[in-house]
Amino acid sequence: MASQPVRILVAPLNWGLGHATRCIPIIRYLISRGCKVILASDGSALALLRREFPELEAHEIPSYNVTYKTGNMLINIGLKAPAIIRTIYREHKWLKAFVKANDISAVISDNRFGLYHKTIPSAVISHQINIPIPGWILYWAGNLVNHRLLGKYNDIWVPDINGPASLSGNMSHQTAIDHRLTYLGVISRMKQITATKKFDVIVVLSGPEPQRTNLEHIILRQLAALPYKCLMVRGLPEISQRVVCSLKLEMVSFMTSEELNEAISQSELVISRSGYTTVLDLVYLNKKALFIPTPGQTEQEYLAENFKKHGVFHAQTQDKLNLSVDIPKALEMKGFERPDLLHAIYPEVLDEWLKKNGLISSLINENDASGKVANDMHKTKK
């Protein structure tokens, strides 16, 4: 009698779409290795995963419900802290009951702090090992709590390159828990494809409200006076709408990974938030970018400033954005110059994790090289 496939729960945080999108290649790889993947999240992240994987079982779990009511991240998080703590407790309680009722073999969380389990393998994906919090006392206290929460997981996976070419910088290097980190390399849902230029600029929006809408309005007002042919992807997976506004501007509510992959490949420049998953995708596709960090979100501000300082990507704050100036500056930047570091590492990490936890015996194609599967998933279309 054939053994049943291992059942692995994958659950990303719903805080923008980046946590969900960077789980896509991991989900694809687990499926390719014969695992039965069950999805769990909430809001836009869950909607995105359901559209990407309509055939997979998906569950709604408690929401962190983060909104940016002010331009100060400390105030935003401070106001939400009691609710976030309650959500961590609720999702942990949910997980214990779900694992027992559904014969779950392992769980992979992306930045959800409550989805660890004492009796099954639990891994967490995060690049925010050291969160850039202003003020050394708050920085120390905040990251002490962060490290303790991450420490509840058996494995901590960092979607980054380990070494001087790191994309997340000090957020995931030179930390107090470096010895516990395993690096996944540049993980991206995108494929390198050959495409004819169709747009001068693609605007890819995402993130919590009201800042997503605020940026959309700012960009639309400025684009109206510029000669660029543009596509705006609004980052609203809950709705399906495509509108040709003019000969210069087309707007679409949401795109699947494959559709967005093609649209970005057809565009000369990407305008977006400086979310870390977006960074991974654009580095992998070797695209030029104009980053506009979410006001008050210190992680995005750190990434945007760091890339600008090193001449990789141009960046501008939302309140000082001037597309007539910033687009030409963005086109002059050099981009990421180490394509030799973009090979996939995560298949090897996943296989090792499955093996050490005794899950590999139920996998199909056990003797296949994981690198071959990864190369097939990322191969260039001719």
Over 70: is that where the pLDDT of 21 sits? yes
CATH architecture of 199-332: 3-Layer(aba) Sandwich (3.40)
Homologous superfamily assigned to 7-187+343-378: Glycogen Phosphorylase B; (3.40.50.2000)
Q: Are 362 and 109 in contact (CB under 8 A)?
A: no
Q: Which residue has the tokens 């960074």?
A: 279
Residue 51 has pLDDT above 60, yes or no: yes
pLDDT tens figures, 314-343: 999 999 999 999 999 999 998 888 887 887
Nearest partner of 188 among 254, 280, 106, 111, judged by Cα? 280
- Delimit the CATH 3.40.50.2000 region(s) of the chain: 7-187+343-378, 199-332
Do 178 and 150 contact (CB within 8 A), yes or no? no
pLDDT at residue 225 above 80? yes
Contact 56, 38 (CB under 8 A): yes
Alpha carbon distances (Å) from 307 to 25, 169, 287, 316: 25, 10, 13, 11
DSSP 231-262: EEE---TT---EEE-SSSEEEES---HHHHHH
Give the count of beta carbons closer than 10 Å to the beta carbon of residue 15.
Answer: 23
Q: Which of 276, 277, 252, 256 is nearest to 202 (CA)?
A: 252
* Per-residue model confidence as pLDDT tens digits over 89-137: 999 999 999 999 999 999 999 999 999 999 999 999 999 999 888 888 8
Please answer whether residues 251 and 243 qualify as being in contact, where contact means their C-beta atoms are separated by less than 8 angstroms. Answer: yes
The total of other beta-carbon atoms located within 10 Å of residue 151's CB is 13
Q: Is the pLDDT of residue 231 over 90?
A: yes
